[in-house]
Amino acid sequence: MQINLHQTHHEIGDFEAIFKYLTSTFSTGKQNGLHLFPELFLTGYPLQDLVLQKSFIEEYLAFLNDVTLWSEKQFKSAAPIALLVGGLAYQFDSVGLPLQIENVIYLIEPGKKIKAIYTKQLLPNYDLYEEKKYFSPGHLPSVLEFDNKKIGLLICEDMWFSHLHDHDPVEQLKDHLIEKKLNCDLVVNLSASPFHLGKHDQRIQRALEIANYIEAPFAYINRVAAEDEIIFDGRSFIVNGSDVIKLAKAFNSDVLSLELPIFTKSQNEFATKFKTSSNSWANLFTTRLSSDTLALLPLKRNECQEILDALILGISDYSVKNKISKFSIALSGGMDSSLVLAILKIMKDKLPQKIEIEAVFMPGFFSSSQSYDLSYDLCQNIGVKLTTMPIKFIHSTIKGSYRENFSNEMKGLADENIQSRLRGTLIYARSNDIGSMVLNTSNKSEIAVGYSTIYGDSVGALSVLGDLYKSEVYELALYINEQYNDMIPEEIITRAPSAELRENQEDTQSLPPYERLDPILEALLSNRFSAAHLIQKGHKKEEVLKVFSLLTKSEYKRAQFCPIIKVKAKSFGFGYRVPISKKTL
């Protein structure tokens, strides 16, 4: 029997495209075997409140009906064939409101109605997940019999039993197989699993454990797409014994086919290690710190490449789905905006579609000539047009007008921020003028301590670097220079970071140096260490307390921030929720 993994996706709610994919893929009648699609392939994921919206429900039900008509009438095959696709199953109350919504596996077979054969049991509801808000859990195991094979069914979180859930669907599946005296030929897991660094290895490890526990090969089919802040990285796979026998592309669509392997028991630790990798709060959000010194762990080369791929998918999918192909980047001559521009250039060279990129340099009174020179060099290196739009005169005009009308000199923070906000205003004027997307260039360190001007440098449709600490921004820049012919002028990487909003300003005047700031932030954010613990581990007390206080007081800025492309286990954005008003601890 052939197994086919369809690692693909369509826009959320694009029922027409999804229907077309199904009907055209299976129009020849030559396909056969088992075809696996990701979790919620029929609708897209995450859907949030859309699942409750009647327009969405009506369109989805009409589409499901079309699928059934197609499956009953047109879907034909000479050899046995079955499709397992993720979708939603609704139950309504007497007035037509959704009473129960289940995240299910639908079985589609020629000549038959589409049929839900398994309901997801473990609904993740931590961090950015909120499936318990929308879905009702299933309680029963399910084994599909197809072409004389027994296929155990799971959906995504079902393979990740932990203290957050009340029972283990994998154990339940095994018990069911034993009770019914069934030999399992294959376990499949339909997933829509968000990317973060290290997650792929966790999935493989867990899959190998389950394969050996159930004693069957394990097929994992994952969605590939970017949905606002979330990246689905694909990398579907099949494991058998102790081996990954097939692996789909990362961050790209892919279709895999192979003959169903016969299970070979692992000779190594997997046979006995089942459940060692259960999710606790601790390993859900592993801190990227060395355990003894609490120093930030450097990014490995493969991690840099993963981040680069993820960011490119994040930007490109967001822009395609929102129908924008032009980008305007406010270039400062500093590291962050330069890196965003470099990533855009790499994306443009990689993708087939036409993309236009422009850079705008907006010097103020305190912008150094070096900032212009470096911006110019970068744009020359990568062939991007650079426009200089000075803000000095506008800034003066505003100061004069402010002085005249408020009888007060605009100075200090007001005078710093106005420059940043003028730049935000001007880059958005450009965006309105040419229909381009402005990408945000803030990094995670700045966002964490609120070292940014709201409506100023914090503007943008999408944040590219907002899940990377400043130290990691540098690491990624070095990696890109190594891979792409020193695209970014070296001095951009080596010069001291500065917002250039006042004379001789440097970041270190307001913040601890990034090599000390970033580990403190990672400790506070990722595993929510207390300040006391950090101090005890040798971090400077005044720095820890200052950072904690800055983090706590800047919630109001993050509350108005754009979506941040997620590449870490613990990120700002949808999975980070802290009240603005609260006693500062």
Cβ contact 69:112 at 8 Å:
no
Return the closest-CA partner of residue 65 out of 95, 83, 46, 90. Answer: 90
Whichever of 53 and 481 has its CB closer to a second copy, that residue is 53
Whichever of 409 and 491 has its CB closer to a second copy, that residue is 409
Whichever of 538 and 579 has its CB closer to a second copy, that residue is 579
Distance in Å, CB of 488 to a second copy, minimum: 25
Q: Which residues, other chains included, contact 446 with Cβ-Cβ below 8 Å and sequence gap of 6+?
A: 452, 470
Tokens of 326: 């032009």
- Please give the Cα distance from 569 to 499 (Å, whole number): 29
- Please give the Cα distance from 472 to 469 (Å, whole number): 5
Return the closest-CA partner of residue 216 out of 171, 262, 172, 173. Answer: 262
Residue 32's Cα: distance from chain center in Å?
Answer: 33
Whichever of 32 and 552 has its CB closer to a second copy, that residue is 552
- Please give the Cα distance from 411 to 98 (Å, whole number): 56
Distance in Å, CB of 306 to a second copy, minimum: 22
The dihedral through the CA atoms of 260, 264, 268, 273 has a sign that is: positive
Whichever of 193 and 419 has its CB closer to a second copy, that residue is 419
Distance in Å, CB of 179 to a second copy, minimum: 26
Q: Report the 10 Å Cβ neighbour count for 286.
A: 16
Cβ contact 151:114 at 8 Å:
no
End-to-end CA distance of the chain: 60
DSSP conformation letters of 454-519: TTTTT--SEESSTTS-HHHHHHHHHHHHHHTTT-S-HHHHHSPP---SSTT--GGGTS--HHHHHH
- Please give the Cα distance from 443 to 336 (Å, whole number): 7
Q: Can you tell me whether residue 415 is helix, strand or coil?
A: helix
Whichever of 4 and 554 has its CB closer to a second copy, that residue is 554
Whichever of 100 and 293 has its CB closer to a second copy, that residue is 100
Rounded to 10 degrees, what is the CA torsion of 470, 510, 499, 440? 50
- Please give the Cα distance from 458 to 440 (Å, whole number): 6
Distance in Å, CB of 461 to a second copy, minimum: 6
Could you list the active site residues?
39, 120, 156
DSSP conformation letters of 155-212: EGGGG--BTTSSS-HHHHHHHHHHHTT----EEEEEE--B--TTHHHHHHHHHHHHHH
Distance in Å, CB of 408 to a second copy, minimum: 7
Cβ contact 512:520 at 8 Å:
yes
